[in-house]
Amino acid sequence: MAPVGMRGLRKAYGNVEAVRDISLEIENREFVVLVGPSGCGKSTLLRMIAGLEDIDAGELTIAGKRVNEVHPADRGLAMVFQSYALYPHMSVAENLAFGLKMSGMGRDEIESKVQKAAGILQIGELLKRRPRELSGGQRQRVAIGRAIVREPEVFLFDEPLSNLDADLRAQMRVELARLHGELQSTMIYVTHDQVEAMTLAQRIVVLNGGRIEQQGAPLELYERPVNTFVAGFLGQPKMNLVQAIATTIDGQPALRLGADSGPMITIGGAAPAALRADQELVVGVRPDAVQLSATKTGHAIPAALELVERLGSDAIAHVRIEGVDPMITVETREPVPTERGTPVWLEIDAADLHVFRSDGERL
């Protein structure tokens, strides 16, 4: 239970800058998820917090104290590794107890802490087994248990669920959320899986190229991404992003999608104040914000069906708009014709549009 502060953290490997100038304040008991594509520096940042990587520049504080030079074991944190990193030659109980034993704690105290952690994670009956006798999910629990027994100020998770199958991952997500409620510790969680980020985080920090692109509550990032990177990264299926040019229809602000012959959307009152005529833009719309219908309505955009993926309760349709380059993805619960080339009409509410400058920043 401690806040973590990062001011201007940097890390380079030779000429490659893995982390460039990251400043972030993580509050006490906050669950923060660092998310981004591979190579974005999220794991390096976590390892710098853990003390497994040296900090080239900047200051790291835990509970208000500078810890740049403090030994990893003295920073008051515990880490859950992607591969779990359980000691293969020790039983589960020994794995849990090892860190406490190394810090010179008495046997009785260790025993009671191990029992307590085993109780929290319901792994009491596994204590005598070796890691290789456990299933993936059980190993995951032991790895978390090894962190819990230390009663750390801060928990660090490095893609802890990436080795589990989909079912177990969903189950462990719920478990982790429960643990955070129960333990009331600060948790910093690294993942490349945006579903984990959206469901677990109180605050998501999106990293790209060693920098923070955006941070905030999950829905805030989902609803108001500051740039096309964040817009494209969060949300499944991905947000549709197409080139557009600002124009007017009957004096109303409007957007022309794609090339000169592309369709127009009137945006009227939803137009950003900074929009200028003839400005080159990137327009985004989430797949679930597009209405797809088989019949033409007022302002609907004509398109042709390319492919439909049926997921059961809903379907994902990939449609092509003439003059617009990438195909548009539409998520719909309505019945959809499946034949390729079927003409369909798309309706988009101007309020659901995300308008970005051509350099990717939100307008």
Partner 1 sequence: MSWRRRRPMSTFLISALIFAFAGGPVLLALYGSVVPDRVLLSPERSVFSEGISLENYRYIFTGQLPASYEVEGAQRSMISEAARQVPRSLWNSARIAAAAMVLNIVLGAPAAYFFARYAFPGKRMSFMFIILSPLVPTAALVVPVYLIMQQLGLIGSVWGIILVHTAQALPFTVLILSVFFRRLPAELFEAAILDRCNAFQSFVRIALPLALPSIGATGLFAFMLSYSEYMFALVLSGEASSRPVSVVMAALARNTDVSWSLLNTGIFIAIIPTLILVVLVWRFVVEGLVSGSVKG
Q: Would you count residue 14 as binding partner 1 (CB under 8 A)? A: no
Of 103-122, which residues contact partner 1 (CB under 8 A)? 103
Q: Would you count residue 98 as binding partner 1 (CB under 8 A)? A: yes
Q: Would you count residue 82 as binding partner 1 (CB under 8 A)? A: yes
Cβ contact 86:95 at 8 Å:
yes
Q: Would you count residue 131 as binding partner 1 (CB under 8 A)? A: yes
Nearest-approach distance from CB 156 to partner 1, in angstroms: 9
Cβ contact 51:6 at 8 Å:
no
Distance of alpha carbon 133 from alpha carbon 88, whole angstroms? 10
Paired with 65 in beta bridges are: 62
Q: Would you count residue 79 as binding partner 1 (CB under 8 A)? A: yes
Angle (deg, nearest 10), helices 92-102 and 107-121: 130
Q: Which residues, other chains included, contact 101 with Cβ-Cβ below 8 Å and sequence gap of 6+?
A: 110
Q: Would you count residue 50 as binding partner 1 (CB under 8 A)? A: yes
Distance of alpha carbon 50 from alpha carbon 272, whole angstroms? 43
Q: Choose, by CB under 8 A, the member of 13, 25, 66, 89 that binds partner 1.
A: 89
Nearest-approach distance from CB 28 to partner 1, in angstroms: 21
Residue among 32 and 154 whose Cβ is closer to partner 1: 154
Q: Choose, by CB under 8 A, the member of 52, 70, 275, 316 that binds partner 1.
A: 52
Q: Choose, by CB under 8 A, the member of 23, 27, 65, 83 that binds partner 1.
A: 83
Residue among 102 and 277 whose Cβ is closer to partner 1: 102
Distance of alpha carbon 190 from alpha carbon 347, whole angstroms? 37
Q: Would you count residue 37 as binding partner 1 (CB under 8 A)? A: no
Nearest-approach distance from CB 98 to partner 1, in angstroms: 5
Residue among 72 and 302 whose Cβ is closer to partner 1: 72
Piece of 44-52, 178-186, 236-244, 278-286 that binds partner 1 (CB under 8 A): 44-52
Residue among 156 and 353 whose Cβ is closer to partner 1: 156
Q: Can you give the binding site for partner 1, defined by CB under 8 A?
A: 50-52, 72-73, 77-79, 81-83, 85-89, 98-99, 102-103, 131-132, 146
